[in-house]
Structure 1
């Protein structure tokens, strides 16, 4: 069980702050959606939490330990990271990718690989070359490669961007289930999915946290309209108040 704590995160590129003084803390369980406009700093923020942006100011601890002090194996045991984009150096298969994910930690054999492929509906595609997969199939392969070790902390950057609507909903449902026993931090653009399936929403704008609150509380504020500069409406679905962009179309 691993909590995450970040203090004073700041990263500057080309003289411009990409992440500008972010503090963040999350317990060992729960689901956190990270949303914001394009270029707001979401991806960089997640990379810092995953230990992939070493040139930042501020500190990140996981389970009370400084992330930068962990060995590669310790980091692999503590967290899994799903990137927004992945271009392999050679034409691998989903099975090879998941096997490489499993090899990060001892004790994960063929059974774990087979289960991860099955959970991602990749069994029939397991030995197809990467170049022959659709964007959605590749995204499911990436998720399987990270989830095969069942990390205590899962960090994912736009993991559903290439998925069709069924697989996208299945994915956020799996995040909601996983959040009961693990910590899940996900950047995504779908405001409706964020406010439906996630316990907490962090809104990032211009490198800073514009809001950090329970999804049910966020939808009652003007934060979304102010940050995204579009009108939002709320609807009630099974007792949950969900925010979505207002269509503006006449009825």
Structure 2
């Protein structure tokens, strides 16, 4: 296992049109760690994820992705080594699932004309399709897939180049309960299949956190409220502060559930 962090963010600011989006944020992610970025809408989660995925530069501070510092590396090439899962994948062609997964080799939305996978690459795609529970959907076309099936296909796609880092941007968006649970089950399974893989998942719903989540950063108004091992960070007090609402947390078999905490003395009805 490499001693170099998979991600290192130090004292990062992001300013857009004079407005601070992130302020003095620092984060270190090591191989085998599974982080969640939590916060209300507008907290800066997606902006931070765009830095981690080498999609944007910080205004100030240092961002190192896979040992390469942004501003000193070809970001397009660096992105090819990061598995980035965006449920808003802008695919417009009716590609089959197997073809969608193979686009992970070229980091393109569509298949590259006249480029054909090697037998080994085709076998890798087939294995990943099975791993993500899509064996019976490998020939199904993109428009016919459910939102949950699309999400799992995109994770398989992101894993095709054997990345050291997997980024998941609100992967459970738009899913029903069954779709969400199938997705989370497969994400958890990846930890056993790829023990050195690091991941960062963005969400504002604690119910969407896989049980294998190891670390959490709470963001509020572009600043880090708390960061560290999941059991130390996810407390009722800190989550209540993060979301500016009294919240009560419970954890069962590694999964979190959330309820509003009723103020003492408040009458209902």
Q: TM (normalized to structure 2)?
A: 0.79
Structure 2 Cα separation of the partners of residues 175 and 209 of structure 1: 28
Question: Which residue of 2 is the match for residue 181 of structure 1?
Answer: 196
Q: Tell me the CA shift for residue 179 of structure 1.
A: 7.0
Q: CA RMSD in A?
A: 2.8
Residue among 26, 30, 36 paired with 1:27? 30
SS of the residue aligned with 2:93? coil
Structure 2 Cα separation of the partners of residues 229 and 55 of structure 1: 27
Question: Which residue of 2 is the match for residue 14 of structure 1?
Answer: 17
Structure 2 Cα separation of the partners of residues 62 and 52 of structure 1: 11
CA contact (8 A) 2:57 2:70 kept: no
Q: Tell me the CA shift for residue 46 of structure 1.
A: 0.4
Gaps of at least 5 residues in structure 1 are none
Residue among 222, 225, 228 paired with 2:237? 222
Structure ID, larger Rg: 2
SS of the residue aligned with 2:209? helix
| Change beyond 3 A, Cα 1:52–1:98 | same
Q: Tell me the CA shift for residue 49 of structure 1.
A: 0.8
| Change beyond 3 A, Cα 1:128–1:195 | closer
Question: Which residue of 2 is the match for residue 38 of structure 1?
Answer: 41
Q: Tell me the CA shift for residue 73 of structure 1.
A: 4.3
| Change beyond 3 A, Cα 1:127–1:168 | closer
Question: Which residue of 2 is the match for residue 200 of structure 1?
Answer: 215
CA contact (8 A) 2:191 2:197 kept: no
Q: TM (normalized to structure 1)?
A: 0.84
**Which structure 2 residues correspond to residues 56-205 of structure 1 after superposition, within 5 A?**
56-68=59-71, 69-70=73-74, 72-77=76-81, 79-103=82-106, 109-163=121-175, 164-177=179-192, 180-194=195-209, 196-205=211-220
Structure 1 Cα separation of the partners of residues 235 and 62 of structure 2: 32
Structure 1 Cα separation of the partners of residues 79 and 34 of structure 2: 20
Residue among 259, 263, 266 paired with 1:245? 259
| Change beyond 3 A, Cα 1:143–1:225 | same
Gaps of at least 5 residues in structure 2 are 108-116, 263-267
Structure 2 Cα separation of the partners of residues 34 and 224 of structure 1: 12
| Change beyond 3 A, Cα 1:195–1:203 | farther
Structure 2 Cα separation of the partners of residues 134 and 236 of structure 1: 29
| Greater than 6 Å deviation, 4+ residue runs | none
Q: Count residues with an aligned counterpart.
A: 246
| Change beyond 3 A, Cα 1:114–1:179 | closer
